[in-house]
Amino acid sequence: MDNDVAGRSGYVYLLTFVAALGGLLFGYDTGVISGTIGFMQTRFALDSTQTGWAASSALVGCILGAALAGSLSDRFGRRRILIVSAVLFLVSAITSALPRNLTELAIARILGGIGVGMASMLSPLYISEIAPAGIRGRLVSLNQLAIVSGFLVVYFVNAWIQAAGDESWNVALGWRLMFASGSIPAVLFFALLFAVPESPRWLVKQGRAEEALDMLVSVGGRIHAERELREIREAVAHEGGSIWQVFQPGIRVAMIIAIVLAVFQQITGINSILYYGPEIFKDAGAGTHAAFVQTVLVGVVNVGFTFVAIFSVDKLGRKALLVFGALSMGLFIFLTALSFQFGLSGAWTLLFVLCYIGSFAVSLGPVVWVYVSELFPTRIRGRAMAVATLCLWCACYLVSQTFPDLVERLGRPVPFYIYGAMCIIMALFVWLVVPETKGRTLEEIEQWWLPKQ
């Protein structure tokens, strides 16, 4: 019996690993810009607005991908659209290495961004739909671990490529190799997706209950499968499929919570560090290679504290981690601003940035994705997550596009003061508004939003 349960648990983790590779590509594809942006700025003689566009153009694709992913996955299935995202990752990695000007680069990055936008919604959605309630938070958090692992891997790759030549070599060729390296994980993701089954909840919606039952038996055994199938069928029978249902009374509350959490995950400033890390550390006094090495440290801390979140989210709960994380992020991003304001050494700036990253990794990074993946009824979950993820990417674009301009016009400390204020506002919102979902099945959570009889 124990071996059987262990085997099933292993199968769930295997499926989660494959789905989470979409998260790894999310981190890799968006994080690669941190190493390339300074060299591209020199290569194409970019001003601050153009630099922001070079860094954020992929996010326009993310917005489009997130907008399309929900309806496409509800129609064609989660797995098929993840395969499409893998193809887009591969095409973008190759074409981003070849541009002759900023426009060609932006087009290539937008294509990859569409894949990122799709994967950013569908990877946690797929995981939440195959995971037993007791470990769902942990498994969805593995997607965030994959995202931050993607950042860490690409930071290492960027630093390795940067160290292979001098400044002129990197301006001419190094940044192109950084982009091209993304083709390797894209091919791996594409190949492995053919080995995973479709989501059981999607199969039930398509009238393929027997296939769903087989999938659920593989995940948790016959008793678990039959109980889960009954709950899924009951939920599907009482739900409509219109996108407008996410704004109807009851569900509207869940939608507002999801949107606010998704937006605040970004406007608390995380991608100012993840996308512009080497440039920030250069401004704090580091040389080019030292700035790349310090960015690798950002990736290491990001991954390490994500492990803490994975083993805490189903024990401590979503709400406590969000409040603690937002307050900690606010403290350390304020200290980062002060380090620039008063000209403290680069070592202090690095310390405050690493503490800020650790606070994000243990809270807002994984927990927002867990929470948003849990909130909605089965039939509209894809569409509802698409709306929340779309808002997230819009906020991400806003931060990434405006950061260089804010620094140039208002000075380096000002953006960090703004992000710190957003952290405090988020902590208050979570404390006052957000309910706890720890240990609840998806169907139990759904009952919170249905009209009371």
When pLDDT is averaged across residues 428-452 and rounded to a whole number, the result is 74
Instruction: Give the count of beta carbons closer than 10 Å to the beta carbon of residue 14.
Output: 13
**Domain count for the chain:** 1
Tens of pLDDT, residue by residue over 129-175, are 877 766 777 787 777 778 889 999 999 999 999 999 999 999 999 99
pLDDT score, position 214 = 82
When pLDDT is averaged across residues 268-291 and rounded to a whole number, the result is 91
Confidence bin at 6 (pLDDT 50/70/90): very low
Higher pLDDT, 380 or 348: 348
pLDDT score, position 98 = 95
Q: Residues 345, 348, 353, CA angle at the centre, nearest 5°?
A: 130
pLDDT score, position 450 = 63
Lowest mean pLDDT among 321-335, 407-421, 426-440: 426-440
For residues 425 and 434, give the distance between their C-alpha atoms in angstroms, rounded to a whole number.
Answer: 13
First to last CA, the chain: 42
Measuring CA to CA, which residue among 118, 99, 116 is closest to residue 30? Answer: 116
When pLDDT is averaged across residues 228-242 and rounded to a whole number, the result is 69
For residues 420 and 416, give the distance between their C-alpha atoms in angstroms, rounded to a whole number.
Answer: 6
Please say if the pLDDT value at position 346 is more than 90.
Answer: no
pLDDT score, position 162 = 94
pLDDT score, position 46 = 94
Task: Report the mean per-residue pLDDT for the chain.
Answer: 86
Please say if the pLDDT value at position 211 is more than 70.
Answer: yes
pLDDT score, position 34 = 92
Please say if the pLDDT value at position 17 is more than 50.
Answer: yes
Share of the chain above pLDDT 70, in %: 91
Contact present, 323 and 431 (Cβ < 8 Å): yes
pLDDT score, position 4 = 44
Instruction: Give the count of beta carbons closer than 10 Å to the beta carbon of residue 219.
Output: 20
| CATH number where 375 lies | 1.20.1250.20
Quickly count helices (H) and strands (E) in the chain: 22, 0
When pLDDT is averaged across residues 35-47 and rounded to a whole number, the result is 94
pLDDT score, position 249 = 72
Confidence bin at 12 (pLDDT 50/70/90): confident
Please say if the pLDDT value at position 240 is more than 60.
Answer: no
pLDDT score, position 241 = 56
Please say if the pLDDT value at position 97 is more than 80.
Answer: yes
pLDDT score, position 222 = 77
pLDDT score, position 7 = 45
Q: Residues 368, 374, 124, CA angle at the centre, nearest 5°?
A: 65
Lowest mean pLDDT among 82-86, 111-115, 161-165, 216-220: 216-220
pLDDT score, position 449 = 65
**Domain range holding 30?**
2-449
pLDDT score, position 358 = 95
